[in-house]
Amino acid sequence: MGSVVGEKITHLIEYATNNFLPLILVCAFGRARMQEGSLSLMQIAKISSALYDYQSNKKLFYVLILTSPTTGGVTASFGMLGNIIIAEPNAYIAFAGKRVIEQTLNKKYQKVHRRLNIYSIRVYSIQSYHIIL
């Protein structure tokens, strides 16, 4: 996730917070943006902070839909913070992709991650209401 995308997502969350709107994000991202360095890395904290205000302080509702691939900074920040998280069937969702893992460990792997073969759903209590899918 690059710095421009991170800024846009942060502004979207802040807009939803200020206007008391529900938030639905569809994520599909699978490329490293290491060339942006710390600017890109700071987006993780910035987005997570905006979501904390949105969810904890304002008690608003956040739905996340994960598509394939969803990896890297997305899963490290807003990609796992939804009140409800739904993944498409057979979606590739991981913190790091196969190429990054192989380069880090200097080993070749045939199968690094399993794909999701069912919908993933988390259920939370929102204020006094229970949301169940």
Consecutive H or E run containing 129: strand 129-130
pLDDT (0 to 100) of residue 123: 42
pLDDT at 90: 75
SS3 29: strand
Taking the whole predicted model, whether its pTM rises above 0.85 is answered as no
CA distances from 104 to 3, 4, 96, 98 (A): 24, 27, 10, 10
Per-residue pLDDT, 102? 79
Domain boundaries, the chain: 3-126
State which CATH number among 3.90.226.10, 3.90.650.10, 3.40.50.150, 1.10.268.10 fits the domain covering 3-126: 3.90.226.10
| Cα–chain center distance at 76 | 7
| Cβ neighbour number for residue 117 with a 10 Å cutoff | 8
In a structure prediction context, what are the per-residue pLDDT tens digits for the chain, which is 133 residues long? Answer: 678 888 999 999 999 999 999 999 998 876 656 666 777 778 888 998 999 999 888 888 898 888 888 877 788 778 888 888 888 877 778 777 677 777 888 888 766 555 554 444 444 444 433 343 4
